[in-house]
A = this chain, B = another copy of it.
Amino acid sequence: MSNQAAGGSHRAAPVHTDPEDVSVLTALSALADPVRIQLVRELAGSADWTRSCGSFDVPVGKAALSHHFSVLRGAGLVEQRDQGPKRVNRLRREEFEARFPGLLDLLLRGDGTD
């Protein structure tokens, strides 16, 4: 069972989806939700691997939060890594941009119009 080398965890690694394998419908569905939009925006304003799941200021419980991150992973928007007891996140900017050019920019440049 040689798995992690440095700072690894013995937990089930999060399942990631390559943005290249994501359909337009899946991408749009993932982003068509107020909570997930907020997550992506907040994540975009932070450095990679600096935000744990619980560190986001969203008005939902942790169960729903976990679900939202699962959806974001499935859409190739977020990458997660276990760091001690926490699960830290990274927005897959370049990869997602390569698959859906301009889409992320739309969200991030998005006015408050919500």
Q: Is the CB of B25 within 8 A of A28?
A: no
Oligomer copy total: 2
Closest to A29 in B: B32
Shortest Cβ distance from residue A26 to the other chain B in the assembled complex, whole angstroms: 9
Q: B34 contacts A25, CB within 8 Å?
A: yes
Count residues of chain A with CB under 8 A from any CB of chain B.
Answer: 22
Binds B, one of A49-57, A64-72, A86-94, A105-113: A105-113
Q: Which residue of B lies closest to A23 (CB)?
A: B113
Residue of B nearest to A25 (CB): B114
Binding site for B on A (CB under 8 A): 22-25, 28-29, 31-34, 37, 100-103, 105-107, 110-111, 113-114
30 contacts between A and B (CB under 8 A): A22-B113, A23-B113, A23-B114, A24-B37, A24-B106, A24-B107, A24-B110, A24-B111, A24-B113, A24-B114, A25-B32, A25-B33, A25-B34, A25-B37, A25-B114, A28-B28, A28-B31, A28-B32, A29-B32, A31-B32, A32-B32, A100-B106, A101-B102, A101-B106, A102-B102, A102-B103, A102-B105, A102-B106, A103-B103, A103-B106
